[in-house]
């Protein structure tokens, strides 16, 4: 099993550009999450989903959008990129919440210039 | 969810046991204690979690104080690969679907 796969691993965006960070899991997990991590800080939750067609905002959703059309995929869309969105983005999945453990992807390092 | 307090950093020697403390004096009766670690340039990985009783798995042991106001993650024999940031997180059993809250954690340094 591949677990949680994130693409791309690195990306440089210009201010105002848009992009989609891809996240896919092959563990048939219901719950999926997007976090961002700024240098030296903990992780902050952007969006989460408890199943296909259901998404909800986390702590820092502004400037981002998500969709969950299948159980496997949970893409994160950045519209009008800003320097404040420079960060490392992690996708995670869980069978059914924290007590089942989270599996994280290896991250996407995004720089907005 | 209740707040946790961890030391910013700790240092230990290779092949020795490591005890990583976590204080959570405002823990509620239904808060689970979760531990994750993050190796350099990687996403966090699950280590262990528990409610009241001590827990063991292949990675580590979790010792929970009788009053549950503190807990300790024990790595029985540290290797260089255990150098990472360790996060102690509380999560209510019925806390809903939103994700775990990761603080700054403890940066564990392993000396050869």
Model pLDDT, residue A100: 84
Measure CB to CB from residue B97 to each of A44, A90, A97 and give the nearest one: A97
- The string of pLDDT tens digits covering residues B94-107 is 767 778 889 999 99
Model pLDDT, residue B49: 94
Model pLDDT, residue B95: 67
Residues of B with Cβ-Cβ distance to A43 under 8 angstroms: 44, 102
3-state DSSP assignment of residue B102: coil
Q: Do A102 and B95 touch (CB under 8 A)?
A: no
A99 part of contact set with chain B, CB < 8 Å: yes
pLDDT (mean) for A10-15 = 97
Q: Do B97 and A56 touch (CB under 8 A)?
A: yes
A73 pLDDT band (50/70/90 cuts)? Answer: very high
**Mutation target among B37, B98, B107 for the A interface, most CBs of A within 10 A:** B98
Model pLDDT, residue B9: 97
A5 part of contact set with chain B, CB < 8 Å: no
Model pLDDT, residue B96: 72
Angle at A37 between CA B74 and CA A68, to 5 degrees: 105
Long-range contacts, B49-57 (Cβ 8 Å, 24+): B49/A98, B49/A99, B49/A101, B51/B93
- The string of pLDDT tens digits covering residues B7-29 is 999 999 999 999 999 999 999 98
Torsion of Cα atoms, A20 then A25 then A30 then A35, to 10°: -50
pLDDT (mean) for B28-50 = 94
Residues of A numbered 24-83 whose beta carbons fall under 8 angstroms of chain B's beta carbons: which are they? 31, 33, 35, 40-45, 48, 50, 56, 58
Measure CB to CB from residue A48 to each of B34, B99, B105 and give the nearest one: B99
A30 pLDDT above the threshold of 70: yes
Model pLDDT, residue B1: 62
CA B109/CA B112 separation, integer angstroms: 10
- The string of pLDDT tens digits covering residues A33-54 is 999 999 888 999 999 999 999 9
DSSP code per residue over A38-97 = -TTS-EEEEEEEEETTEEEE-S--TTEEE--SSSSB--EEE-S--GGG-EEEEEEEESSS
Model pLDDT, residue A96: 83
CA B103/CA A2 separation, integer angstroms: 28
DSSP code per residue over B50-92 = ESSS-EE-SS-EEEE-TTSSEEEEEESS--GGG-EEEEEEEEE
pLDDT (mean) for A8-26 = 97
B72 pLDDT band (50/70/90 cuts)? Answer: very high
Mean pLDDT of chain B: 93
A58 pLDDT above the threshold of 90: yes
Residues of B with Cβ-Cβ distance to A99 under 8 angstroms: 32, 49, 91, 93
Measure CB to CB from residue B43 to each of A50, A56, A104 and give the nearest one: A104
């Amino acid at each position: 099993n591949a677990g949680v796969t994130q693409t791309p691993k690195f990306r440089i965006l210009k201010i105002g550009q848009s992009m989609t960070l891809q996240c896919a899991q092959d563990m048939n997990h219901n719950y999926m999450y997007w976090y961002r991590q700024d240098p030296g800080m903990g992780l902050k939750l952007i969006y989460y989903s408890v199943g296909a067609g259901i998404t909800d905002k986390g702590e820092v959703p502004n400037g981002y959008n998500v969709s969950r059309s299948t159980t496997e995929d949970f893409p994160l869309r950045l519209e009008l990129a800003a320097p404040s969105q420079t960060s490392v983005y992690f996708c995670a999945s869980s069978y059914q919440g924290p007590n089942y453990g989270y599996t994280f992807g290896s991250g996407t390092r995004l720089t907005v210039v | 969810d209740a707040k946790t307090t961890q030391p910013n950093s700790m240092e230990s020697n290779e092949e020795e046991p490591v005890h990583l403390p976590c204080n959570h004096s405002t823990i509620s009766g239904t808060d689970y204690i979760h531990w994750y670690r993050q190796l350099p340039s990687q996403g966090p990985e699950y280590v262990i979690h528990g409610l009241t009783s001590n827990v063991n798995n292949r990675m580590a042991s979790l010792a929970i104080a009788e009053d549950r106001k503190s807990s300790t993650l024990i790595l029985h024999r540290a290797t260089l690969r255990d150098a990472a940031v360790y996060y102690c997180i509380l999560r209510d059993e019925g806390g809903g679907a939103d994700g775990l809250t990761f603080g700054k954690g403890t940066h564990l340094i392993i000396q050869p």
